[in-house]
Structures are given as structure tokens and as C-alpha cells.
Structure 1
Amino acid sequence: MAEVKNTSSPRLTQIKDFLTMNKTATTPPWDPDCTIFPSRKELPNVPGAPEGAAWVWGEEDFIGRLNLLTPSRVIVASKQIRSGEIVPLNLPLNVPEQPAFSREPFLHEIKTVAEGLAYDDLYHLNTQSGTQWDGFRHFAHFPSQTFYNNTKGEDVTGPQANEKCSIHHWAEHGIAGRGVLLDYRGYAHKKGINYDPYEYYPISYEELYHCGKDQGIDIRPASQGGDIKIGDILFIRSGFVERYHSLPREETQALALREHALGKDDGQRYAGLSQEERVIDWLHDCYFAAVAGDAPAFEAWPSHEEYHLHEFILALWGMPLGEMLDLERLAQTCRQKNRWFFFFTSAPANVHGGVSSHVNGTAVF
């Protein structure tokens, strides 16, 4: 049985919970309605899992941190709806026209069913071609070649393929909760910080903290006195979409087709979160239900470390990771209202065996 590191005895925890009216997650499988969860440094050791894995929701769990989106938290999140304004967060399916990392462009064809009377659509697309959720089958923990909750490559393709960590599990659960935007690009413009989102630029925890402070948000988890609550959904605007629309078509296509290879000399280069330990601890300890950004990789790409944030977020923690969301109008609305929290909902594709999905996401104020 897994044991939590550096914590009080179960009896003492029970007494503390009784006195404080909290519920502490101790022995897996955890109850999603718990109010206190271990920090990254206190994670339980899960037998058979890589070090640092938070496979804590049960052996048959394939939704990870989405477990935190309980009915009670969704009800609380719904109180963010005050004016009823709807802000879609999806790029057109054909944007970027040439997707990053040389992925296949979106193709659309009209099928005539009956001339002048009825028509169908035919789509050909890579779910990583635009506004996207990285599913748990998308990116493994490299050293162990293991996806979330002990899912392997042979579970995804081949004669033993099955539905472990399939995207349809997310679709069947649903995604709805309180979103929070950190508009780093807006903060950088304000402070005269110049960088190109099409080049490697790591956004540090320190910069995110000051960005939040400028917005009137303490980005620390509520357990540390901050404003982030368990189950919040994080959005970070790095400015990629803004930059994409400012460049000529020929240039954006050439940039998306830069040579791609693993390692820090990768020709594909983008701004995103730093892989520093403080960022990793923060992403874990806030207990976000999901995280997302407007750039092709969310994290600064390529990683200059021996690991990627994708490995922690997807494979070790089971936290949905969104990329290429259109956060331009969202940032404008948040700034106009001076409100950086909102209600967010997303409808992933219900595809059995699927790897990823377009986000189909909406913010409501």
C-alpha cells in the first residue's frame, strides 16, 4: 500500500481534519472531494510507477486531475457567471494554416448529397493541428516509456491495443470549472519585456508571480495563502496567436516547417513555461484540473533540461494540457472587466481509442 512521505500519522491527520473540518487525501485511491492534498514533495510512492508519479485515483482511472472537477466544485465555479458574456477560445480549424512541427494541415471538402438541396462536410485533420488538448496517450514519461497510469505503447497501437487513457474517458466525464488567465504577454508589453513567441523563451515562476500580482492575483495555491483553488483551470497567454496574425503567410509557414528533432538544438522554437523546479512544484501543488496556453508547446521549446514539462503534466500527474487556444479576446475581456477568473467549459471529442482532441472551449463571464 502506498504511503505518503513526510506526513503525520493517520490518527493525527484524522484529528486535525475533525478540528478544521477538512478532509486530507492520504491513502490512494484518493477521494476527489478532499480539501487537502499532498505537495509534490509529499506524494505517495506508487508501486510500479516512476518516481514522482501521482497515479492516485485508482488503477482503472483514465481522467487524472479531471477527478477534481466534482459537482460541488462545478457549482462553486458557476458563480463566476454574472454578466453572461460568452468568449469562445477556439482558433478556426485551419489556423495555423501550416501547423507547427510540420503536422498535417486541416483539409475541408464539401460533399454534395443532392444538388441545391443538401450537403455534407468532409474533414481530414490532425487533432494536434490547432486548438488542442494533449491527451494522456500523446506524451510518455521518457525514461520508463510509460504513459499515465501505467499505459504503454502497446495499449495505444498494435494487436493488444485497448482503451486505456483514451480521450473518450474525458468526453464521458466532461470538463467544466473555474478558469484563471495569466496574461503574460500583456504584462510583458506593459513592462517593456521584448521576446519573440516563435523563439525559445522560458517564462519563469518569478515572472508569472509578478504577472499575477500586476493583475491583482496571488498565484500561489490557497493552501499557501494564495488565490488558486483546487480544481481551477489555468490559462497562460504567451502571445503566440498575436504574433502569428502579425506575420506574413509565407513566414508563418516557413517557421512551422523548421527542422524538428529531439534536443535543445531543435529548429522548432517557441516561448512557454520554464522547466525550472519552482514551476514544476507550482503546477503540481496548485492542483489545477487542467492547464492550457496559446503556444504550440505550452512549455518553452525545446526544453534545455533532460526532461519536459509534458512528462510531468501528462504522464506523471494525469493533468490535461491544452495548446494553441485563442486567448486574445479572453485577455481583452478580462482586462476590461478587471476579472481574471471565469467559468470555463470544454467538450473533448468522444472517440474511443483517441489520442487527443480539439478543445471546443468556452469562457463565460
Structure 2
Amino acid sequence: MPLLLALLGGNANAANAANAAPENGGKLAQKVGASPWGPKDEIGRLNLMTPASRAAIMARVSGAKAYDLAVEYFIGMPSWQAAGDPPYQMWMTHTPHGNLVADSMQVGEAMNRHVSYTGSAISMYAHMGTHIDALNHFGLDDKIWNGFSAAEHLGDRGWNVTGAEKLPPIIARGVLLDVATAKGVDMLPDSYRVTRKDLRETLDKQGTRLEQGDVVLIRTGRMRNYEKAQAYMANPPGMSLDAAKFLIEDGGAMVVGADNLSFETFPSEVADNYLPLHTYLLAQQGAPIIELVNLEALSRDRVYQFAFVGASLKLRGADAAPIRPVALPIK
């Protein structure tokens, strides 16, 4: 039974608690992780990022190309609505013709004909498009990462700890694990659960290795369906709990991500937890999750190692925020 590794003494792979790992359909003894970076820590494994680590990866950037790993936001885009969350909406608040009629700035017809004014507004669920989950997104037994309780820290305006505004800009070594290509397919089958074995085989085929503090991104190929929301969302492939444990406990990953909607797949492999990877990564290990990452160009060009640079919106108290990640190939 693998140990739940809880990053003691600055070592991201030292264990401080034993959590029994389930067989399929089994149960998992679960409790939130205590941060080795102290009782006030709100960013978890992002503490693995240091001035030296940032400088080291940026010194290797070739400058030849930059890959945009974000998706576009548009009406009808894939979004999680099963729990009643709102879809993406955009509407015009000002248009050139509308200003001729309404003269909202009270500058007169001649000025409105001369100066065109366009304005818009959006409404969306925080977990839409390319986004990063903050550590308060999922918890266990009324507590989130580092033992912060909802009763004490969650108010009408969001969390007063671990909010999305606390996430620092991420500059780290990035690694693509192109599982679909390693298996010789464009896209993993519906509901395929990526295993530890799959990840090891992918690393071997790519000639890649994981290092502590990496941002590890998994390609399932699902992004090929992004423009077709129903096809993208229906029975997506995702990670197994054992694969997630491999990334954190063996690979030393700081942040994990994938090109699917929810990182994991369904139905849950744990009888008493409907989202075991989210609770394991966020609440137990303090590892942020980046979802809906566009990895198609990296896969096409076989770019498996790069400098990952990304900063999310500073949404105070929020449990997630949009992020615009960039991959810069390294020498």
C-alpha cells in the first residue's frame, strides 16, 4: 500500500502519513495534508519553485519558438455544467451603431460617428477554458490543504486562504507526456484510464525523465474535439489515481495538468470518493491542477521538455482562475 507523501522538511517525497491506496472499488483512508512549509502555507508544492530554479530553466530557453498552450473562449465552448454551473456567455455592452442611438457617453451624433466605441462583458464559471485549480477547490471532511477549515475560512466572498490570487506566476521546467502518441493513436479511447505503466512507457519512448519541481502535462488527444463541445466532454479519458501518485511521489511533480476537462476520468475508482484525484492532488498533496491545456502543437513538433511560463488571474478568494501558459523550448 503506497504511502501518502506529504513533503516533510522541504523534501517533496518524504512521507508523514499512511493512506491505504484502493483497489478498484475499494475505499481510501483520507485526510488533508499538512504543509512542510508551515501552518500558514497557502500554495503547497508551488514552494518548490525558487529563484535558482526559475533562473536555471530560463537560462536554457532557445528563443526559437513560443507555444501558446491556452484554448479560446467562445459561446458554446466545452464547460462543466453537470452540477448546474453556468456556461460561457459574452454580450456587447456598446456597439458603434448602438452608441449612435443611445449616446451613452453623451458626446453627440457627430462624435459617435467619428469615434467608434465597442465594449463587451463576459460571464463564466471559474473552471472553464485553460485554468488552474487553487488548493481550496476540493477538500475532505470540511478541511482543505494544510488543515484550513471551511467553517473558519470560507465566507460570502470566497476563501480568505488559498484563493486563486495567492498562486504565484509559474516559471518552471515543463514536461509533456504524450500518452496518445506513445500508444500509436491520435486520441485515447473514451473513458480510458491512464496508468502508471502508461506513463513509464511514455517516458521511455520519448527519452524523457521527470525531475522534482516539474510542471507535468499529459496529452490524451482529447483537445482534437475542443471545437465540438459534446464530443469533447462525453466520456473523456483521464488519469488513474495510481498514475497521479506516480507523478507526485515518484516523479516529484510540482504542478500537473492535461488536455481534458477534469484531469481524471469517470466513474471513480474509489468507492467513497467521487473525485479522488482532485482530493489527492489538491487537498492531500498541495499540487495545483491545470486543465484544458492545448498540447497539440507540442505533440506535433515533439517538444517534450520546455520552460513553462504561466500566470493566472488574481481572483480573490476563488477556487480557480484562467491561465495563459506558454511553452518555450529549451536547449
TM-score category of the 2 structures, normalised to the smaller one: 0.7 to 0.9
2:16 to 43, 52, 64: 43
Q: Secondary structure at the match of 2:297?
A: helix
> Residue 100 of structure 1 aligns to a residue in which SS?
coil
1:146 maps to which residue? 143
From 326, 330, 333, the equivalent of 2:294 is 326
- Structure-2 change in CA distance of 1:239 and 1:193 (3 Å): closer
Distance 1:270 1:95, change over 3 A: farther
- 1:67-216 matches, cutoff 5 A: 67-94=47-74, 97-102=77-82, 103-112=85-94, 115=112, 116-141=115-140, 144-155=141-152, 157-158=154-155, 162-170=159-167, 173-188=168-183, 190=184, 195-196=188-189, 199-216=190-207
Deviates more, 1:91-100 or 1:161-170: 91-100
Q: Equivalences for 1:206-355 in 2 at 5 Å? A: 206-217=197-208, 227-245=209-227, 249=228, 252-253=229-230, 256=233, 269-276=235-242, 279-306=244-271, 307=273, 308-333=276-301, 335=302, 339-355=303-319
CA distance, structure 2, for counterparts of residue 254 and residue 184 of structure 1: 20
Of 342-351 and 76-85, the range deviating more from structure 2: 76-85
Q: Which moved more, 1:161-170 or 1:279-288?
A: 279-288
Q: Is the 8 A contact 1:238 1:295 kept in 2?
A: yes
Matched letter for residue 94 of structure 1: F
Matches within 5 A, 1:4-23: none
1:229-266, CA deviations, whole angstroms, 9 ceiling, x for partnerless residues? 22110000011111344xxx4xx33874xxxxxxxxxx
Label 1:122 to 1:287 Cα distance change in 2 as closer, same or farther (>3 A).
Answer: same
Letter in 1 for 2:270: E
How far is 1:121 from its partner?
2.7
Give, in whole Å, the separation in 2 of the partners of 1:193 and 1:206: 19
In structure 1, C-alpha distance between the alignment counterparts of 2:251 and 2:198, rounded to whole Å = 17
Q: How many residues align?
A: 291
Gaps in structure 2 of 5+ consecutive residues? 19-29, 95-103, 106-111
Which amino acid in the other structure matches residue 342 of structure 1?
A: F
Deviations 1:51-94 (A, max 9, x none): 57252111111111111110101111113311331111111012
What is the percentage of aligned positions where both structures have the same residue? Answer: 22
Choose the corresponding residue for 1:358, options 292, 298, 322: 322
Retained in 1: the 8 A contact 2:8–2:16?
A: no
- Output the CA distance in 2 between the equivalents of 1:37 and 1:211: 23
- Amino acid corresponding to residue 357 of structure 1 in structure 2: A
In 1, the alpha carbon distance for the partners of 2:244 and 2:231 equals 31
SS at the partner of 2:279?
Answer: helix
C-alpha distance 364-159 of structure 1, shift in aligned 2 (>3 A):
closer
